[in-house]
Amino acid sequence: MTVPVVREATPERKAEIFGKVVADVRFQDYVHGCYECGICVAACPSARFYDFSPRKITQAVCREDLDLFWEHVNVDVWNCSQCFSCDRCPRGNSPGGLITIMREVAVTAGLRSAKEALEGGERVVYKIMSTGTQVSPDMLQPEAFPDWGPDVQDVSRNLDLWRRALPPETLHTTTTAWEIDDKTLVELYLIWHMTGVLDMIKAVDEGLHMILNDVMEELLEDHDIVVS
Amino acid sequence: MSSPDPNRGGPSAPSTLTAGTIPLEVVHARSFTRNPDLAPIEDIREEVLKLEAEGEWIVQRVPDDHTEVTTKYGRTKKIPNRHTWHHKSCGQCGHIPGYSTAIFWLNRELGTEYNDPRDQTSCTAWNYYASATSNAPAQAAVAMRNFAAAYETGFYPVIHCGTSYGHYKEVREELVRHPDLRAQVRDILARMNKPLVMPEEMIHYSEWIHVMRHEIRKRTVLDLSNITCVVHPACHYYKLVAEDAIYDQEIYGGQRTAIMSQLLETLGAKVADYSTWFDCCGFGFRHVLVQRDFTRSFATLRKIERMKEEANPDVTITHDTGCVTTLDKSQFAAKAHGRNVGIPVMSEAQFAALAMGAHPYRVCQLHWHSTDYRPLLEKMGIDWEKAWAEFESDLDRLRSGKTEFLTWDDANAK
């Protein structure tokens, strides 16, 4: 990952972003103070490979240290593995959960660091939002996974045939992980619209938002669904 | 573990540990005694039932035909034996389809009734944990839409993916604690004419396999006594909302989840220990997509190499989508660099199916895996060359247009 440069921001901007994290409905479930015991760091896989500390992030939030928070919300949160090994906190904190919120706030606010962090992941976001399954068989292409060896090429070359050689009737698909009916997709699109997720996409990637909106509008119109 | 078991290493096993690892002797000497009255957290399921009594939602009950198990703090959990609605995993179905196929095959062989739905979406949590382009109401609405779809069929939801399972437990907590969130999700589901339904228990498929282990053992056709396995328990199964995971005093003194280990022992295989069992696989959600140097390094340096060095197993068994993918696929690059890797990786569903005589390609679809599994099959007594020739013959029939799809009957053809 290219580590984003932490942009200077006004104290008001930092306070605004911090306020959004604290106001999230999950915040009170995830943060209860910090003993600085470091159990979360000891359990953390990212801490072994990056200059990353779930303790420091939790501490910065508990102390309302806006300058340190700003650095974390722009850079460090994207190194978290989201494995929740840190959920061993004697205070009952979930540093991983706090980081989930911080990432979401960074995306919703359209922080440039969030845009940079999401670069390269657009097709996965498109796939999950438009088809209801996150990964599909046709994503297994050698150019996308050169480090996974020649077997990826075998899968790619034989994809249609090998999918038809699967006994479960729902798995004969190549562009989605399994067969999903249109009514279910309409319901999923309603969820994205009604919860503001499409607006989140717009904040970080207008092009992707436009494509998703077009795909969704077409199916929603076909089913006479109007979203306000 | 309360008493040393030579099958899992322990005090009598040769010590191959290197400096900086957790001494296994210490681990073996300790035991975790559970008492539900001393549980550090509330039983969320009681709150779920209270909310039903208040008219907030419907609680879908676990079918009468179920098995009771013990969870982390000594509470009892009901696992349905049959009549289950299968919440599939996008990573399993998309990239390691023998995983899902093996789960269905086991259900068919054990004669349970199951529903493989087309009105199920992914939990979308891979995206939630990777890109953060979602939020709490959206994630809760996705979960509750799927639960409503299960409820409409009368089948009980069983979740294939560890992340879906862990995330849905998070969602359950959020919905219990936050009435505004509940109201918002109820309104969204009303637009779809769906009721708000919360399952009585969250069930991961591996819990069903766990309670079926004796039935699986009865049907085992292979002698696995010379097979050494190591187990990687999935973080989102037992760390993310930890109290729902299955524990048993007989397995590592109740200090680790019993999932998979108890099955493998029941099947007669050896379960070997290694010091980094608690570490994640390195999947990382966003890392496996856009920062895979971390994933590869962690999976091989912290997991596979440690397993190899300390236990030298024939196979790594795990029970989640990302773990199978990461631990299997990461080994190619490490091998190219001459690292000490080369352990086949599969789910316990695939391993149990093989033990029951499932076809390695028609059912377990091992040709989608990367690390060489053929030496394992040979050691298990499976003629993989013959099996591959049979599968090639199936593919020829598909190519020629004589048949469009491989069927369940084909899968069990002799």
What span, in angstroms and rounded, lies between the C-alpha atoms of B269 and B145? 40
For residues B160 and A99, what is the distance between their CA atoms, to the nearest angstrom? 26
**Residue B25 reports pLDDT greater than 70:** no
DSSP B85-139: EEE--HHHHHH-HHHHHHHHHHHHHTT--EE--SS-----HHHHHHT----HHHH
Compute the distance between CA of residue B322 and CA of residue B260 in angstroms, rounded to an integer.
16
Between A197-204 and A122-131, two packed helices, what is the crossing angle to 10 degrees? 160
| pLDDT single digits (tens) B97-141 | 999 999 999 999 999 999 999 999 999 999 999 999 999 999 999
Who's near B5: CB < 8 A, 6+ residues apart? none
* Window from A143-157, A173-187, A212-226, B24-38 with minimum mean pLDDT: B24-38
Look at residue B16 and tell me whether its pLDDT is greater than 90.
no
Residue type, B36: P
CA distances for B33 relative to B27, B250, B253, angstroms: 14, 11, 8
Domain ranges of chain A: 11-117
Which residues of chain B does A193 touch, with a Cβ-Cβ cutoff of 8 Å?
Answer: none
Determine, for residues B370 and A151 on separate chains, whether the beta-carbon distance falls below 8 Å.
Answer: yes
Q: Judge whether A224 is closer than 8 Å to chain B, CB to CB.
A: no
Least confident range from A38-42, B10-14, B31-35: namely B10-14
pLDDT for residue B30: 65
B235: pLDDT strictly greater than 60: yes
CA distances (Å), origin B15, targets A171, A196, B18, B301, B310 = 46, 56, 9, 20, 8
- For the residues of A136-169, what is the DSSP string, one character each? -GGG--TTT-GGG-THHHHHHHTHHHHHHT-SSG
What is the number of helices (H) and of strands (E) in chain B? 21, 11
Q: How far apart are CA B110 and CA B403, in angstroms?
A: 27
First to last CA, chain A: 38
In order of A187, B100, B192, B262, B384, the CA distances from B377 in angstroms are: 44, 20, 48, 21, 7
Buried b (16+ CB within 10 A) or exposed e, B330-365: bbbbbbeeeeebebbbbbbbbbbbbbbebbbbbbbb
Would you call A135 an interface residue with chain B, using a CB distance cutoff of 8 Å? yes
Provide the chain B residues 111-130 that lie in CB contact (below 8 A) with chain A. 116-122, 124, 126-130
* Closest CA relative to residue A48, chosen from B241, B278, B343, B162: B278
Let me know the angle formed at the C-alpha of A100 by A96 and A102, rounded to the nearest 5 degrees.
110
Q: What is the DSSP letter of A6?
A: -
A192 contact B CB<8A: yes
Chain A interface disruption, residue of B119, B131, B293, most A CBs within 10 A? B131
Q: Chain A contacts of B138, Cβ < 8 Å?
A: 191-192, 195-197
Q: What is the pLDDT of residue A150?
A: 92
pLDDT tens per residue, range B237-286: 999 999 999 999 899 988 899 999 999 999 999 999 999 999 999 999 99
Q: What is the pLDDT of residue A5?
A: 58
Nearest beta carbon to residue B122 from set A128, A166, A172: A128
Euclidean distance between the first and the last CA atom of chain B, given in angstroms as a whole number: 42
- What's the pLDDT at B413? 81
Strand ranges in B268-395 using DSSP code E only, listed in sequence order: 270-272, 315-318, 345-347
Looking at residue B3, its pLDDT comes to 34
Q: Mind spelling out the 3-state secondary structure of B142-179?
A: HHHHHHHHHHHHCCEEEECCHHHHHHHHHHHHHHHHCH
- Nearest CB among A106, A136, A151 relative to B94 is that of A136
Within 8 A of A125 by CB-CB distance, chain B residues are: 127, 131, 133
pLDDT-derived band at B22 (thresholds 50, 70, 90) equals very low
Q: Mention every residue, 6+ apart, whose C-beta is less than 8 A from residue B61.
A: B200
pLDDT at A8: 74
CA pair distance B101, A171, nearest whole angstrom: 9
Return mean pLDDT, chain B: 93
Q: What is the structure's pLDDT at A225?
A: 87
Residue B28 pLDDT class (50, 70, 90 cuts): low
Q: What is the mean pLDDT of residues A144-155?
A: 94
Best of B32, B85, B93 to disrupt the A interface (most A CBs within 10 Å) is B93
A25 touches chain B (CB under 8 A): yes
Q: Which residue of A has its CA nearest to B411?
A: A167
Judged against a pLDDT cut of 70, whether residue B293 lies above it is answered with yes
pLDDT at B5: 35
Confidence of residue A221 (pLDDT cuts 50, 70, 90): very high
Name the one residue in this structure whose structure tokens are 């995206």: B127
Q: Is A134 on the interface with B (CB under 8 A)?
A: yes
Neighbours of B46 (CB within 10 A): 10
- In terms of DSSP H, where are the helices of B156-240? 162-177, 179-191, 205-211, 213-218, 235-238
Residues constituting chain A: 228
Mean pLDDT of A126-151: 93
A-proximal residues of B, 276-305, CB under 8 Å: 278-280, 282-287, 289-292, 294, 296-298, 302
Q: For B366-393, what is the mean pLDDT? A: 98
Domains of chain B listed by start with CATH number:
44-205 (1.20.1050.140)
As a whole number, the mean pLDDT across chain A is: 94
- What is the arithmetic mean of pLDDT over B345-363? 98
- Alpha-carbon separation of residue A219 from A178, A186, A223, B50, B119 (angstroms): 19, 7, 6, 39, 16
Cα A182 to Cα A167: distance, rounded to the nearest angstrom: 23
Distance from the Cα of residue B294 to its chain's centroid:
23
Query: To the nearest whole percent, how much of chain A has pLDDT over 90?
Result: 91
Chain segment B55-85, per-residue pLDDT in tens = 999 999 999 999 999 999 999 999 999 999 9
Query: Of B95, B107, B117, B96, nearest to B408 (Cα)?
Result: B107
For the stretch B316-329, pLDDT in tens is 999 999 999 999 99
Distance CA B174, CA B169 (A): 9
How far is it between the farthest Cα atoms of chain A?
59
B residues 200..229 contacting A (CB < 8 A) = none
Who contacts B219 (Cβ-Cβ below 8 Å, separation ≥6)?
Answer: B109, B110, B356, B357
**Percent of chain B with pLDDT strictly greater than 90:** 88
Residue B24's pLDDT band, with cuts at 50, 70 and 90, is low
Residues in A touching B182 (Cβ below 8 Å): none
Q: pLDDT tens across A26-78, in order? A: 999 999 999 999 999 999 999 999 999 999 999 999 999 999 999 999 999 99
- List the single residue in A with minimal CA-CA distance to B283: A81
Phi/psi-derived region of residue A169, left when phi > 0, alpha when psi is between -120 and 50, beta in every other case: alpha
Nearest C-alpha neighbor of B166 from the set A89, A83, A98, A131: A83
Residue B27 confidence (pLDDT) above 80: no
A8-23: average pLDDT? 95
Is B153 at the interface with chain A, CB within 8 A? no
The pTM score is 0.94
Residue B67 DSSP label: E
pLDDT at B414: 73
Any A CB within 8 A of B406 CB: yes
- Tell whether B178 lies on the interface with A, counting CB pairs under 8 A: yes
Kindly list the residues from chain A whose CB atom is less than 8 angstroms away from the CB atom of residue B282: 45, 81
Cβ separation B405–A172 shorter than 8 A: yes
